[in-house]
Structures are given as C-alpha cells and as structure tokens.
Structure 1
Amino acid sequence: MNTGDFEVPARSQSLSARRVAELLGVNLTELASLIGVTRSTLAANAGARKVDAALSPVVRILSMAGELAGNGQRAAIWFKHQPIPGWAGKTAYDLVREGKTDKVFAYLEGVRSGIYA
C-alpha cells in the first residue's frame, strides 16, 4: 500500500475504516476504540460523517508518516511500534488513543522540518 491510499477524500466519499484497520493490522473493534467511536458506528452508514471525522486524523498522520518513511506499510509500523521521543515510550498509536493527535502532528512537523532526525 502506498501513501496515495491515505489522501483525505472529497466530501462525497467516505474514508475506509476497513482499509485503515487492515493497514494497521487491527480489527474494526480495535480501530473503533482507537478513534473513539463504537464498533456499531463504524459499521453503520448513518454514522459515516462521525466516522470520517474521527478517522481523518489517523489517515492524515499515516499520510504524513508515509511521506517521511517512504510508504504506507512503514508508516503503519512506525505508528504502532516506534516510541515518540519525549513521551515516555508512547507511540503515535498510544497518543491518538489518548486524544493527543495534535502532539503526533507536532512531532511529524518537527521531523519534516529537520528538528528531529
């Protein structure tokens, strides 16, 4: 999978929770927990806007990480397994689960600009 798979879609399209879950190697229940929605919300078409809003930061993080790492698979491995400096061994996955996506974006922006190498 390449980073092109993680572009935020146009308004009429929905993000694919299933594709993100597959890339991260988690089931839909784990993904729902990560993004703060219920498993039934992921499955319901009526919840598409809510799911898109919750899933969008993860997709953006994976896209940014993919640009830096070279591809989506490497980005997913980094997201789940690589501790972020200054966060006591926590990974991007951990920080997203805690609602700290802004901290992950700040770190990735720092890497992009050469602060963290």
Structure 2
Amino acid sequence: MAFAGAGFVTDFIDRAGIIDVDRVADAFRMTKGQLAETVGLAAATVSKAERRTAPRTQSRMREMLEIVSRIREWTGGETQAMAWYRSQPIPALDGRTPEALVKAGEAGAVRDYLDHLALGGYA
C-alpha cells in the first residue's frame, strides 16, 4: 500500500534499495548517534557500515521516515515533523510519543492513529 509522501522516503534510498543513514542524519541535522537514539538503536548500529544494512536497522529507519513523511505537511515541514515525532505525546496511545512507539516496535500503532486522523477521527 502506498502512503502519502512516498517520494520523501525514496529520497533517502540508494540504488541498492538501502536507506542511506548518512543522508537521513544530514537531512535532520543530527549525528548518527542521535539518529540511532531516535529510532531505538545503538549508535554503533548506524556507525558501522555492515550494520546499517541490517533488516532491523532498515526497518526502524523506514518506519521513522514514513511517519515523518506523513505528518510533515500539517506540521509545517521536516524539522517540525521530527519535533512532533520526538516529543508529542499521543493521548490515544497511552500518552507515548511516536518516537517511543517506534523504539518499542509499535510503529503500526502510530500509522493506525495517523490513518484515523486522516479519515476525520479525533486525536
């Protein structure tokens, strides 16, 4: 299923189909360590080339990018979307932030919440 902002996510994918961690960190003005923390990974995971392509690393990066992509228009841009992702508690999800949910492997709950809002549901 395609989602809003698919082009945004593909901007970070290289020719081999791998999310370029350096490009993501640069785009959000983060160190690789900060980026790793944002998706719930150890800093070494995104610092070592062989670990960057691991399925878990790629999955977490993709989840974060998909969420940021979906909200960037109504938050006012990528920087604001990342701020929302990192700090906005979602009452419907026990007051946890999207960042906390992604770190816990529950990105699907954030996507479901965003789908609910997109269909006119209450926050």
Q: TM-score, normalised by structure 1?
A: 0.74
The aligned residue for residue 95 of structure 1 is: 101
Structure 1 unaligned runs (5+)? none
Match of 1:60 among 66, 87, 102: 66
Partners of 2:21 and 2:52 within 8 A in 1 = no
* Alignment partners' CA distance in 2, 1:81 and 1:13: 30
Partners of 1:21 and 1:28 within 8 A in 2 = yes
* Alignment partners' CA distance in 2, 1:25 and 1:103: 27
Report the residue type matching 2:9 in the other structure. E
Q: Secondary structure at the match of 2:90?
A: coil
1:7-40 per-residue CA deviation (whole Å, 9 max, x = no partner) reads 2325525424345445666543343244343322
1:11/1:109 CA distance change after superposition, 3 Å: farther
Q: Secondary structure at the match of 1:75?
A: helix
Higher relative contact order (CA 8 A, sep 6+): 1
* Alignment partners' CA distance in 2, 1:21 and 1:40: 14
Q: Does 1:6 align with 2:8?
A: yes
Structure 2 unaligned runs (5+)? none
